[in-house]
Chain A
Amino acid sequence: MNTLFKIVPIAVLIVILSAFASNNTHDDAYDVGDTIEDFSLKNVDGKQVKLSDFDAAKGFILTFTCNTCPYSVAYEDRIIALDKKYASKGYPVIAINPNNPNTRPGDSFEAMQKRAKEKGFTFPYLVDEGQKIYPKFGATKTPHNYVIQKTKKGLVIKYIGAIDDSSRNPDAVKEKYLETAVDALLAGKEVKLKKTKAIGCSIKV
């Protein structure tokens, strides 16, 4: 009985603490203006990719995306178009799939390889093995997009949010938030709209 009295409060405390821990995972995540650490992730071609591999890049368009989310699928062609337009200007697209393939078999490495081939991805499509990278970025959903600029102090996040204002219908886009951000950086200007929001699929853990 005595032991029970001791164990129960401790168990309750652990439950409460772990609840807080899981809620706070993203609180110390990167924000606009923060310098990010490089990462090394496996690409669909089996090779490891690091941001430092891109010597000529002025920055990156980083997108957390996946095979299985309709919002991600709706943006695939627009992501390909972004890479086509901006890779040559120094801002290549880097795509990372943050989903746990055990929860979402449609996001397995093989399924990613297949999708990249089908769509003719011109950019790396990386696996977030062990789901270690997306929490650092505070990504909560797919698609979740970041514009990163190479500066003297390192790789700095300049924009977080949506690609544009019409996830559901590519023909109804009025504002291209992400392109406006990259264009500003290419012109040596500050990004005006630094954060936007869009609906997306929760990242599968």
Chain B
Amino acid sequence: MRGTIVILSLLLATACKQKETTNPKQVASVEAKTNEQEAVDLEVYDFEGFKAFLNKEDDKTYVINFWATWCAPCVKELPYFEELNANYKDKNLEVILVSLDFPSMYDTKLKPFISAKRLKSKVIALNDPSENKWINQVDSSWSGSIPATIIYNKNERKFFERSFTYETLEQEVKHLK
């Protein structure tokens, strides 16, 4: 009997992994799974700590995307960053998603979002109120609106205050020196 339950729940879990349905039983187990995954540790940085991510001098290309769960155009373009990360992780590229969600939303919005969307790219949170100082240090041309993205390697650095499609994002990566 116990064995049957284990097998049944395993089946249910795999079914949920593959597709989300409206079957109430399955929704319940998706939620249970989500709750388990919420134990994900979220690294939170102030700007001093975060700066290291903007100034790596190894052989990798870094794609740093500033976003937030409440930012509709950011959420819309996240799959493209995920796709880029998946397609280029063996090609010396790393995507880092920098959340600007308010600290009060880390547990209620951000972590559940990371679990629900099964984000594979590294997600960190930047929490530093001195925006007037650090926005210019990220890029002097940045007005402060999100989404915003930096693509850099040791040879070149580009800043974008705009949204991307997968094609335009990949193009910028390919054009980097």
User: Which A residues contact B (CB, under 8 angstroms)?
Assistant: 69-70, 74, 104, 140-141, 144, 161-162, 165-169, 172, 177, 196-204
CB-CB nearest in chain B for A174 = B129
- CB pair B132–A161 under 8 Å, yes or no, is yes
- CB pair B146–A199 under 8 Å, yes or no, is yes
* 8 Å CB contact of A200 from B73, B127, B130, B145: B145
A204: B residues at CB distance < 8 A: 72-73
A203: B residues at CB distance < 8 A: 145
B79 located at the interface, meaning its Cβ lies under 8 Å from any Cβ of chain A in the complex: no
A165: B residues at CB distance < 8 A: 129-132
A177 to B132 CA separation, bound complex (whole angstroms): 10
Q: A70-B102, A168-B103 are in contact. Are A198 and B144 (CB under 8 A)?
A: yes
A86 to B71 CA separation, bound complex (whole angstroms): 32
* 8 Å CB contact of A70 from B70, B127, B143, B161: B70
- CB pair A168–B143 under 8 Å, yes or no, is no
- List 9 A-B pairs, minimum CB-CB distance, nearest first: A141-B145, A202-B145, A140-B143, A197-B135, A196-B132, A198-B131, A166-B129, A140-B145, A197-B144
User: Which B residues contact A (CB, under 8 angstroms)?
Assistant: 68, 70-73, 100, 102-103, 127, 129-132, 135-136, 142-147, 161
- CB pair A202–B146 under 8 Å, yes or no, is yes
A167: B residues at CB distance < 8 A: 129, 131
- CB pair B132–A162 under 8 Å, yes or no, is yes
B127: A residues at CB distance < 8 A: 168
The distance from the CB of A204 to the nearest CB of chain B, in whole angstroms, is: 8
A141: B residues at CB distance < 8 A: 143-145
A166 to B146 CA separation, bound complex (whole angstroms): 17
The distance from the CB of B139 to the nearest CB of chain A, in whole angstroms, is: 11
Could you show 9 A-B contacts with beta carbons less than 8 Å apart? A70-B68, A70-B102, A141-B143, A162-B132, A168-B102, A168-B103, A196-B132, A197-B132, A202-B71
A196: B residues at CB distance < 8 A: 132
- CB pair A172–B143 under 8 Å, yes or no, is no
The distance from the CB of A101 to the nearest CB of chain B, in whole angstroms, is: 14
The distance from the CB of A119 to the nearest CB of chain B, in whole angstroms, is: 19
* 8 Å CB contact of A201 from B71, B135, B136, B161: B71
CB-CB nearest in chain A for B66 = A199
Q: A165-B129, A165-B130, A167-B131 are in contact. Are A197 and B147 (CB under 8 A)?
A: no
| Beyond A168-B127, A204-B72, 7 extra complex contacts between A and B, CB < 8 Å | A69-B70, A74-B102, A197-B136, A201-B70, A201-B145, A202-B71, A202-B73
A197 to B138 CA separation, bound complex (whole angstroms): 12
